[in-house]
Structures are given as structure tokens and as C-alpha cells.
Amino acid sequence: MKHRIIDVQMSDVSVLFNYPMMKLWFVTAVLSSVAALLAAGYYSDRDDSECSNSCSSKSDVSNPFTRLDEKLDEILEYLRVNDLYCNGGVGFKPTPKPAPGPFESCKEILEAKRADGNKAYELEIEGQKTQVYCHMTDLGSCGGGGWTMVMKMDGNKHTFTYDKALWSDKNTLNPQGGKTGFDSQETKLPTYWDTPFSKICVGMKVGSQIKFLKIDQKADSLHSLIADGQHRATSLGRDAWKTLIGSDASLQRNCNIEGFNAKGSSGRHSRARIGIAANEQNDCGSCDSRIGLGTGGYPEDSVSCGDVVRHGGDNGDKTIKALGYILVQ
């Protein structure tokens, strides 16, 4: 007995299973056809005389594949009609193939469905293929994945203090360190000056505790926000910045200048490339405290990342050195 070949495209089936009710209908169709097969086998075992009377009235089970074919046709036709209605006459939309690259950011990789965990991926930066750590899953309070690593710094070292040329030049530092996640390897990647973004995620690790803070800021690059030394304000608030440190965080109560290149009028006092500076007096003339990344100035110029406070901090005097991380999306 010949059966018509069931001509169902895989793209049709993939669309079909996007409809919960269609899943149920499809399974029911398959089960009913299997039952029909069993019934057909049962009747074939009966003697010829009995079958001559009964099988003729059960012609619908003699070809169960036809029944399955018909049900699939009904389902697919239903979906075509509804898809035409919902998609403005376009009809079935084939499942897009993953984009081949090259990619310029971790977010592009994620959106192209090429992500495979939190690890280093190959990005094309300034025409060069570069391995960069991508965080593809949620990153604490920063939220959704697709975060591209830019910098990692160690508050115990002087490498990234406020006045270092690394903040204004376009030179990399230890690119190998940019392939790993939230460890103590310091790095500065070309993503600092060649990756546009709309969000920044900064993180601080104190002991085994790591905290993140999201900054909604659109820019052509982080270099474009920082290199010229001009203050660019954010409005997160002092309490938000303190969450990077945790319950031990402390700041003086006044001034609270925050954002990029946050500093008071005195060039020798506390300042931060990304963060907040505060004062005990009701002005920003002589800030003696800061929380941030790329920090410097009085009272401890050598601490490049963390929380330093003297003279009336709301949680006492502090010197908390942290590992710092900057990612963009």
C-alpha cells in the first residue's frame, strides 16, 4: 500500500511548537494514529470471513498515516492563516540562523544566540580579533547578560590611581587578564576606547564579597567620558555608591559630587574617575572621602579602588581597598 509522503518543513514544525495548543493537538494526532495502527493490526489478525464484514466499516483505520497527514495539514494551515493575520501578511517567519560574526561586543554575541556561558569570546576591535571576557548571565544588580569587560584593578596597587596616564591614553595593559572574570588580574582592554554602550556595570570585591552597581549612561566609549578630565555627573545618590562596599561603607555627609571625574575644587583632595567624593563641610572645596574606581588624593593617594574616609565619616574613618571591575553593555 502506498502512502503519501508527509511534506512538513522543519521550519513549520519549529513554528508549530511555539503554540501551546498546537502542541496538544499534534500529540493527540500522533497518539490517535498510533492507536489506529494497533487497531489495524488487530483486525488483520481476524479471520477473513469476519474481516469481510467488519473491516469494511473501519476504512478510516486502514491507512493511519493518511489520518496523521491530514491532521498535520489542518494544523499547519491553521497556523499559516493565523500567522498571516498576526504578521501583516508575511506568513511563516523562518527561524533565523545564528549570525556568523564578527562581533564587536558581548551583547551582540548574546543577541545572535552565540553565547555559551561566561567566558572569553573573540571580538573584533579596531579591526583586530581580541579575546575579551563576556558575562552573559545576570550580573547582580546590573541585571541582564551581554556585559563586555573593560577594566580590572586592584585597590592595593597604584596602577589605576586617579592621575595615571592609563585613564587618558589608548594603550592596553595586560590583555591576558581581560580573558578572565572577577579575579585579581589587573587589565585594561581596547574596549575602553572602542566600545560604545548605554549601560555601565561597576563592581567591587572586598574579601569574598562582590557587589555591583549599574550606571545608565550612553557614550561612544568609556574613554570619551573620562579622558578629558571633565566632570560628568550621575544621580545615583550616596547610598547607592555605598552598596559597592557593603555595611562597612562610610562617607562624609556633604558635597556628594558623583559620576565621572568626581572631584572637588581642590586638586589634592579625594577624587574618583568613577564614583563619589564627599566633604564634612558644606562645600566641595576639600573632600576627605570617596568611594570609587580610579581614586586618589588626600587622605590616601595610593588607594586606587575602594572607600577612604577621614574627618567625620557617617560610619567612621575607613580605608577599605577593593578589587574593581568595569564592564559595559
Looking at residue 80, its pLDDT comes to 57
Percent of the chain residues past pLDDT 70, beyond the cut = 70
CA torsion angle 5 7 8 11 (round to 10): 140
In b/e form, how buried is each residue of 260-295, taking b as 16+ CB within 10 angstroms? Answer: bbbbbeeeebbbbbbbbbbbbbeebebbbbbbbbbb
Model confidence, pTM: 0.72
Phi, psi of 278 (to 5 degrees): -140, 165
Q: Which of 80-84, 158-162, 209-213, 222-226 is predicted least confidently?
A: 80-84
Instruction: Give tens-digit pLDDT for 86-134.
Output: 555 555 555 555 556 789 999 999 999 999 999 999 999 999 999 999 9
Q: Is the pLDDT of residue 26 over 70?
A: no
**Better-scored residue on pLDDT, 245 or 23:** 245
Domain boundaries, the chain: 106-328
Residue of 302, 172, 292 whose CA lies nearest to 234: 292
Helices and strands in the chain, H and E counts = 8, 13
CB 294, CB 305: distance < 8 Å:
yes
Length of the chain: 329
Looking at residue 77, its pLDDT comes to 61
Q: 3-class DSSP state for residue 248?
A: coil
Q: 3-class DSSP state for residue 243?
A: coil
* Three cell numbers written together for 26: 499534534
Residue of 317, 325, 245 whose CA lies nearest to 293: 325
Tell me the pLDDT of the chain averaged across its residues. Answer: 83
